[in-house]
Amino acid sequence: MGRQREFDVEQALDAALCVFWRKGYEGTSYTDLTQATGVERPGLYSAFGNKEALFRQALERYYSHYLDYFPTALEQPTSREVVEQIFRGAAELHTRHPDRPGCLGIHGALAGSDDAEPIRQALIDARARGEAMLRDRLERAKEEGDLPDSANSAALAAYVMAVLHGMAVQAKAGCSRDVLEAVVDQALSTWPSNPSGRETQKTGAIKPLPLLY
Amino acid sequence: MGRQREFDVEQALDAALCVFWRKGYEGTSYTDLTQATGVERPGLYSAFGNKEALFRQALERYYSHYLDYFPTALEQPTSREVVEQIFRGAAELHTRHPDRPGCLGIHGALAGSDDAEPIRQALIDARARGEAMLRDRLERAKEEGDLPDSANSAALAAYVMAVLHGMAVQAKAGCSRDVLEAVVDQALSTWPSNPSGRETQKTGAIKPLPLLY
DNA sequence: GAAATTTAGTATCGACCGGTATGGAAAAGA
DNA sequence: TCTTTTCCATACCGGTCGATACTAAATTTC
């Protein structure tokens, strides 16, 4: 009962997400949000709660609608393919939208005033969850013989995340996709190969790449 | 002539630098700055100019007083040592001060309001200068036979910078130095080796590292 | 010692921040 | 049709933002 909403909530959330993506949490004002969404301030509050709640919902949408390639990549048969798909997906996503390059999960709230501490922690936690998923996947690769027993899953996962974060920073600085892909090539060039020697897929991309091209 | 300053300008600049390091450009208010420096607002304005000018001077000091290991590392005899020293120096710096982890050059202004665009660009330019210095050094390494002719100096430099940026993000998220060092180990494991086979230093660290430890 | 100059500190500026009260318009149930 | 409920939009709240007049104190020059 009562009057019905005149704006589409999902559409408004996506518009808000794009602003956060570009300006970060604290850099985004309600003036920005109302302009981007076409919804007046009280409308945003009634639909999403306060700014922090709105950002959290935007972040959730970001993971489900933009970072969806990540869980998909984890299903690849070999750790090499998992990591490569994650890297390639990031290079593509971070340069897909020229108006909002980089990654909301990184520069949504990296440094800022003390007020933004909860959001900063939320982003840290979200990234940590992704790293944990990757670590578990690499651990499984060890059990399957896809990675040598000597491999350190936690360190490898941290390394992959570091490269991803660095790519986000570079994308935000205006780097082209080509440069990001070159970074990926180098990052992948020494991925530990299958110790048992048995190939698990047709491309056989296990052998080390030649030195950058 | 006239009254003399009661505070030490360098000391105040360093205090301001530390606040910017922790909270970023826009996250830092003049209330923060006056508390950290012990200097009232008009004092900061008369000594440094406005907030943007103060940040730029803080950034300059950051490069000369904290990132000084970078130009030093470029003087190492081999590219491998150059890059390793840069990596190790970053891992150390980013965790040296627990109250301000990470790198001012990265999260001083990554995303934010449009007002901060000049500062954002200044940080991008500063990082680009560092990347250019590294690229030139790697180019020299190719001329010296330290790197193979097939090596892509620009791509290698971009890769190194990406790892550095990623380490800064992780340090800001609370990563320990040990984790950063593990990331460095993995990042170094892909470094191209000397094609001519002649060693240029005693350690002979050219051969690829074993898989993570 | 008096004038000139530069500092320090208080108090304040207009603009914008995140967040709301309010009142009228629109749509549902009776 | 009338009541109730919900939404939209203007206008506004106290607080904080970066930036400055202004006054008084301190130091140099004349």
Provide the CATH number for the domain around residue B42. Answer: 1.10.10.60
Domain that holds residue A37: 9-62
Q: Is the CB of A2 under 7 A from strand C?
A: yes
Question: Residue A61, class by beta-carbon neighbours within 10 Å (0-12 exposed, 13-18 middle, 19+ buried)?
Answer: middle
Look at residue B54 and tell me if it is in a domain.
yes
Per-residue pLDDT tens listing for chain B (213 residues): 778 898 999 999 999 999 999 999 999 999 999 999 999 999 999 999 999 999 999 999 999 999 999 999 999 999 999 999 999 999 999 999 999 999 999 999 999 999 999 999 999 999 999 999 999 999 999 999 999 999 999 999 999 999 999 999 999 999 999 999 999 999 999 788 655 544 443 333 333 333 332
Do B20 and B113 share a structural domain? no
* Chain D, protein-covered positions (CB within 7 A): 4-11, 16-22, 25-29
- Scanning residues 10 through 39 of protein chain B, those with a beta carbon under 7 Å from any atom of strand D turn out to be 26, 28-31
Do B107 and B20 share a structural domain? no
Q: Which CATH number does the domain housing residue B148 bear?
A: 1.10.357.10
Q: A residues 13-32 near B, CB within 8 Å?
A: 22-24, 26-29
Which tokens hold the place of B139? 């180019």
Rounded to two decimals, the ipTM of the complex is 0.91
Residues of chain B contacting residue A213, judged by C-beta atoms under 8 Å apart: 150, 152, 155
Do A79 and A55 share a structural domain? no
B35-55 pLDDT, tens digit each: 999 999 999 999 999 999 999
Q: Which of B43, B63, B83 is the last residue of a domain?
A: B63
A105 and B CB contact within 8 Å: no
Look at residue A209 and tell me if it is in a domain.
no
Q: Is the CB of A55 under 7 A from strand C?
A: no
Spatial contact of A200 and A77, defined as CB atoms under 8 Å apart: yes
Do A75 and A107 share a structural domain? yes
Spatial contact of B159 and B79, defined as CB atoms under 8 Å apart: no
| DSSP states along B23-50 | HHHHH--HHHHHHHH---HHHHHHHH-S
Spatial contact of B70 and B161, defined as CB atoms under 8 Å apart: no
Do A122 and A49 share a structural domain? no
Do B59 and B153 share a structural domain? no
Q: Calculate how close chain B gets to A128, using CA atoms only, in Å.
A: 9
Look at residue A205 and tell me if it is in a domain.
no
B1 and A CB contact within 8 Å: no
Residues of chain A contacting residue B112, judged by C-beta atoms under 8 Å apart: 23-24, 26-27
Look at residue B99 and tell me if it is in a domain.
yes
Look at residue B197 and tell me if it is in a domain.
no
Do A21 and A82 share a structural domain? no
Report the percentage of chain A scoring pLDDT > 90. 86
A25-47 pLDDT, tens digit each: 999 999 999 999 999 999 999 99
Do B184 and B92 share a structural domain? yes
Q: A residues 144-173 near B, CB within 8 Å?
A: 148, 150-152, 154-156, 158-159, 161-170, 172-173
pLDDT at position A212: 29
What value does the mean pLDDT of chain B take? Answer: 91
Which tokens hold the place of B158? 């971009």
Which tokens hold the place of A194? 């299958």
Number of domains in chain A: 2
Do B86 and B182 share a structural domain? yes
Do A128 and A30 share a structural domain? no
Among A156, A182, A189, beta carbon nearest to B158:
A182
Tokens 């040592």 belong to residue: B81
Whole-angstrom CA distances from A93 to A54, A79, A83, A176, A189 are: 22, 21, 15, 12, 21
- 3-class SS of residue B210: coil
